[in-house]
A and B are shown apart, each in its own frame.
Chain A
Amino acid sequence: MYTTDLSGKDKKQPAPQTVEDPALLAAFEARVANDEFIEPKDWMPEAYRRTLVRQISQHAHSEIVGMLPEGNWITRAPSLRRKAILLAKVQDEGGHGLYLYSAAETLGTSREQMIEALHSGKAKYSTIFNYPTLTWADIGAIGWLVDGAAIMNQVPLQRTSYGPYARAMVRVCKEESFHQRQGYELTMALCAGSKEQKRMAQDALNRWWWPSLMMFGPPDDKSPNTEQSIRWRIKRETNDELRQKFVDVTVPQAEAIGLTVPDAALRWNEARGHYDFGEIDWEEFYAVVRGEGQVAKERMQARVKAWEDGAWVRDAAAAHAAKRAAAKIAAE
């Protein structure tokens, strides 16, 4: 779930208002309402373009930053099989970031611009990645909970109104399905293991449960863009609906392997047909959005370092290509 709009809360100035041609706007809204796809060269309102660039690039940033917490354990994975699975998984996240940056680029922004926005702190990414991975069990918890939450949001986005985004999500979802299962399987192995391993698994659930619920974003009454985004099919279900769905499917999964969800208020509500659950600490959520997550600094430092350390490599390849092109012209 890397698509929650995190920019509403701390926006300094209102976005520039463009006056759109009412006829074009009406035709656009009708197409979207009719479940048609919008393609890159089609006319679209500026607000739609802006919202999409923000949402897709934020999603892409989350995939790329999201490589770091799990990447933290690749070199320490406890078996060759686990090492290969984890590396393949983190590599997939990189691929997903790449598909999404490409989709955003069709809207007239460059990858470089998006990366600069990330590094300068202007662009946001999912709050979940500013939590640390302290033990091997965190790798299981991330796959099971974080990817589980992500899938809930991403599956409906395969039918989102913007064609390139929808196609990127089809590819992402196809690849994502193994992520959650491997996370759960890893956690299952720990629960079937020694006392220390089980303690590790429970501790990971304790730390990742609430941040996972926060991933769905602020409650609906505090999420200003929801209505428009749903009309535009940029979003398909509300934050609270998705969060409830997540709780409902995840609690029995925890019980099945003998783990306890860290919420004293959690109970099945027969009348509603859903689990009731406790109050989320929104103060913590907004603090993490503001960049006060425990490892926010480390995450950004790692991304900026990779980018800066790679600058000479990118320059060299470009220079080499230019030399080759010049030599080819000279030879003709």
Chain B
Amino acid sequence: MTKAEVSAYATRLGDDALILGQRLSEWCGHAPTIEVDLSLANLALDLIGQATHFLGVAGDSDQLAFHRDALDFSNCLLVEQPNGDFAQTIARQFLFSTFQELHLQALTSSKDERLAAIAAKAVKEVAYHRQLASDWVVRLGDGTEESKTRIEAALDWMWRFVDELFEMDELEMKLAKERVGVDKSTLRVEWDRRVDAVLAEGTLARPAPRRPVLGGRRGHHTEHLGHLLSQMQFLQRAYPGAVW
């Protein structure tokens, strides 16, 4: 493995956390109850912390977060999806955290000590994210008619971005072979099992398979990312070189 390869991989991990953390932070002050507001902020803080660490492996984390354009961002498309209503936020979190926990768990035995150490800390945070989101999927699925309709619509919105989570390209296959990275395709069976169990408890049907939308890892994003970046990067762009 080369330094550039590890950096590219760490950037993917960091970008996933950064973009989802940024999305969740949009909720602050606007959640359904104060307690839920606090929970969502905790998730966002965990993710921003993870992003700082992973991007730090690739270089200067602020430089990477605030000075790249969409083409150079390599997060998966799922995490950049808009918050929508609470159901959409929960569906996104549930699908992603279930994946992220498995991914990080496997990464704890990476031969790259920095990645392994970050993963070991982050996996505990993410186990809680997964639990929190799963509990909400069950409540919304098995709550009222309205909540069921909303969580079904949310899962339907997100489902086309699921396959990308497990996508392996040449870079990641090489790193997996060298036991620096993780063969994400092997995580799918366990992910399916966990997701199906929660959906069943929430009396929800698994969305029908569909043609996957891919491209995030190669910088080809949905329209939403550009708007997210224009907001997030505003100050750094407006005052080049300033220290904050």
Asked if chains A and B are in direct contact (CB within 8 A), the reply is yes
Q: Is the CB of B242 within 8 A of A194?
A: yes
**Chain B 153-183 per-residue mask, 1 if CB under 8 angstroms from chain A, else 0:** 0000000000000000000000000000000
Give the shortest distance, in Å, between B206 (CB) and chain A (any CB): 20
| Contact A76-B28, Cβ < 8 Å, known A82-B244, A313-B86, A316-B139 | no
Q: How far is the CA of A165 from the CA of B33 in the complex (A)?
A: 21
Q: How far is the CA of A196 from the CA of B34 in the complex (A)?
A: 37
Identify which of B22, B25, B142, B242 gathers the most chain A CB atoms within 10 Å of its CB.
B25
Q: Is the CB of B244 within 8 A of A189?
A: yes
Q: Is the CB of A76 within 8 A of B235?
A: yes
Q: Is the CB of B62 within 8 A of A306?
A: no
Which residues of the other chain, A, contact B146 by a CB distance below 8 angstroms? 312, 315-316
Is A27 in contact with chain B by the CB < 8 A criterion?
no
Binds B, one of A91-99, A254-262, A265-273: A91-99
In the complex, the chain B residue whose C-beta lies closest to that of A308 is: B32
Interface residues of B in 16-49 (CB under 8 A from A): 18, 22, 25-26, 28-38, 41-42, 44-45, 48-49
Give the shortest distance, in Å, between B185 (CB) and chain A (any CB): 31
Binds B, one of A66-74, A166-174, A287-295: A66-74
Interface residues of A in 269-308 (CB under 8 A from B): 302, 305-306
Q: Is the CB of B28 within 8 A of A95?
A: no
Give the shortest distance, in Å, between B30 (CB) and chain A (any CB): 4
Residue of A64, A193, A320 touching B242 (CB-CB under 8 A): A193
**Chain B 220-244 per-residue mask, 1 if CB under 8 angstroms from chain A, else 0:** 0000000000011011100101111
Q: Is the CB of B48 within 8 A of A94?
A: no
**Chain A 301-329 per-residue mask, 1 if CB under 8 angstroms from chain B, else 0:** 01001100111111111011001000000
Give the shortest distance, in Å, between B199 (CB) and chain A (any CB): 15
Q: Is the CB of A87 within 8 A of B25?
A: yes
Determine chain A's interface SS by DSSP, over half rule.
helix
Which residues of the other chain, B, contact A190 by a CB distance below 8 angstroms? 244
Which residues of the other chain, B, contact A192 by a CB distance below 8 angstroms? 243
Which residues of the other chain, A, contact B61 by a CB distance below 8 angstroms? 80
| Contact A95-B38, Cβ < 8 Å, known A84-B48, A309-B32, A312-B150 | yes
Q: Is the CB of A78 within 8 A of B32?
A: no
Which residues of the other chain, A, contact B234 by a CB distance below 8 angstroms? 76
Q: Is the CB of A91 within 8 A of B28?
A: yes
Which residues of the other chain, B, contact A313 by a CB distance below 8 angstroms? 32, 36, 86, 140, 147
Which residues of the other chain, B, contact A71 by a CB distance below 8 angstroms? 28-30
Interface residues of A in 168-217 (CB under 8 A from B): 189-190, 192-194, 196-197
Interface size class of B (residues with CB under 8 A): 35 or more
Which residues of the other chain, A, contact B147 by a CB distance below 8 angstroms? 312-313, 315-316, 319
| Contact A320-B33, Cβ < 8 Å, known A78-B66, A79-B66 | no
Q: Is the CB of A319 within 8 A of B143?
A: yes
Is A47 in contact with chain B by the CB < 8 A criterion?
no
Q: How far is the CA of A108 from the CA of B232 in the complex (A)?
A: 44
Residue of A74, A84, A101, A136 touching B235 (CB-CB under 8 A): A136
| Contact A310-B232, Cβ < 8 Å, known A84-B48, A87-B28, A91-B38 | no
Give the shortest distance, in Å, between B53 (CB) and chain A (any CB): 10
Q: How far is the CA of A71 from the CA of B138 in the complex (A)?
A: 30
Is B2 in contact with chain A by the CB < 8 A criterion?
no
Is A34 in contact with chain B by the CB < 8 A criterion?
no
Give the shortest distance, in Å, between A320 (CB) and chain B (any CB): 4
Q: Is the CB of A310 within 8 A of B244?
A: no
Which residues of the other chain, A, contact B29 by a CB distance below 8 angstroms? 64, 67-68, 71, 90, 94, 302, 306
| Contact A302-B140, Cβ < 8 Å, known A83-B48, A194-B239, A316-B146 | no
Residue of B142, B231, B239, B241 touching A75 (CB-CB under 8 A): B231
Is A30 in contact with chain B by the CB < 8 A criterion?
no
Is A33 in contact with chain B by the CB < 8 A criterion?
no
Q: Is the CB of A90 within 8 A of B41?
A: yes
Give the shortest distance, in Å, between B164 (CB) and chain A (any CB): 24
Residue of B26, B41, B52, B85 touching A80 (CB-CB under 8 A): B52
A residues contacting B by CB (< 8 A) are 64, 67-68, 71, 74-84, 87-88, 90-91, 94-95, 97-98, 101, 136, 189-190, 192-194, 196-197, 302, 305-306, 309-317, 319-320, 323
23 contacts between A and B (CB under 8 A): A64-B29, A71-B30, A80-B48, A80-B65, A84-B52, A88-B45, A94-B28, A94-B34, A98-B34, A98-B35, A193-B243, A194-B239, A194-B241, A194-B242, A309-B32, A310-B32, A312-B150, A313-B32, A314-B33, A316-B139, A316-B147, A317-B143, A320-B139
Assuming A67-B29, A193-B244, A310-B36, what are 18 further A-B pairs, CB within 8 angstroms?
A: A74-B25, A75-B25, A75-B26, A76-B235, A78-B244, A80-B51, A84-B49, A87-B41, A87-B45, A90-B41, A94-B29, A190-B244, A194-B242, A197-B239, A314-B32, A316-B146, A319-B143, A320-B139
Interface pairs A-B: 10 shortest CB-CB: A310-B32, A316-B143, A316-B147, A91-B41, A67-B29, A78-B235, A71-B29, A313-B32, A78-B244, A306-B30
